[in-house]
Amino acid sequence: MKQFNICVLAGDGIGKEVTDWGVKALETAGRYHELSFNFHHELLGHAAIQATGNPLPDATLERCKASDAVLLGAIGDPHYDLNPHLKVRPEQGLLALRKGLGLFANIRPILLFDELLDASSLKRAVIQGTDILFFRELTGGIYFGEPRGRKLNGTVAYDTKVYAKYEVDRIARMAFEAAKSRKKILHSVDKANVLESSRLWREVVQDLTPEYPEVEVVHMYVDNAAMQLIKNPKQFDVVLTGNMFGDILTDEASQIAGSLGMLASASIGNEVGLFEPIHGSAPDIAGQNIANPLATILSTALMCNRSLNAPTTGQLIIDAVDAVLKAGYRTKDIMGPQTDPQKVLGTHKMGEQVLNHIHSIAEKNVPA
């Protein structure tokens, strides 16, 4: 029996509801492959501010560093939207965690389940067959650049976009390696016609291309990329881009898949990986048992594949989610006009369906 330590950061809003089912799915699938897990729960975000005054307590960061992987729910609270002057905010905890763990690459797969094609706002013919893997740089760019602040009595605000060559190089290499094992095409998205930081980005990517002769590189401006994602998403396979552009483009791409509630993500660095759904904390539906847990459950499959070297367990979880969708079960955010009202489930019932299908699939594959 192989044992792993997993740090669970439920965070805020619906975070606890969805991470509970991620934990259960990982535990259930792991048993069939002789994996066991020790789950350690720590605070992050608004919940941490309330308890300690710090969005990332030292104990949380230390526990994360000592773990094999981290499962995050979501952070954020409307209190901060109503009080923009507050200097301590939940998002600071996540940014500090990424820095503290050295998480420089956010990997977001845009993978469509055929059963959900009609849940997208785009035509079936446009999106069917879409399979995109985004690599978003996490530790540089406008979120972290200095100087930043205000002047002229607070009437002018400024932020600075900064990238170093090594920051671009390390994530670009990761994206090139992924492209080698997929369709061998890499779209690098920037704004090199306007931004000096994007010119550096493009230079670094271009300098790497001789090392990957089998990979076709397409440089694309971010505004064109945003249009092309809607016009013809199937042209993309691996997409490499910076922090801000990646944040925006992956949320746009989530609508190809029908809902933010279906998309998992992995934040990877040199050691401990962090896995989370890309949806927010959704405080308006917290505690109502209607949040979609599937993105978090799929995030545990990514964890198995990327950090735990347990791809068979990860595939079992994906197969179970696929089977649940094939059986017609939906949460409200992914239901369509043809959905059977009797199969529209809340968070708990949807989670239970996934566990049931993990059991049934695994037991069918047990040798006689």
Per annotation, catalytic residue among 223, 234, 340, 349: 223
Residue 343 tokens, joined: 């199969």
Among this protein's residues, is 190 annotated catalytic?
Answer: no
Query: For residue 316, which of 22, 30, 34 has the smallest C-alpha distance?
Result: 30
C-beta atoms surrounding 246 within 10 Å: 24
Determine whether 58 is an active site residue.
no
Identified catalytic residue from 251, 319, 322, 332: 251
Query: What 3-state DSSP class applies to 143?
Result: helix
28: which 2 tokens? 């259930």
Contact 284, 293 (CB under 8 A): no
Q: Quick check: is 191 catalytic? A: yes
Q: Is 2 a catalytic residue?
A: no
Whether 48 and 93 have beta carbons less than 8 Å apart is answered as yes
User: Could you write out the DSSP letters of every residue in 323-353?
Assistant: HHHHTT-B-GGG--TT--GGGB--HHHHHHH
DSSP 116: G
Residue listed under structure tokens 């969005």: 55
Catalytic-labelled residue, pool 191, 212, 237, 333: 191
**Annotated catalytic residue within 65, 80, 118, 143:** 143
Give the helix ranges, DSSP H, for 57-163: 58-65, 78-82, 90-101, 124-127
| Bridge partners for 40 per DSSP | 7
Rounded to 10°, the helix 243-254/222-231 angle is 10
Q: Which of 118, 159, 169, 247 is catalytic?
A: 247
Give me the residues paired with residue 71 across strands.
Answer: 8, 275
Note if 99 is an active site residue.
Answer: no
Contact indicator for 258, 119 with CB cutoff of 8 Å:
yes
**Number of Cα atoms under 13 Å in the Cβ half of residue 232:** 3
CB 197 within 8 A of CB 162: yes
Q: Residues with catalytic annotation?
A: 143, 191, 223, 247, 251
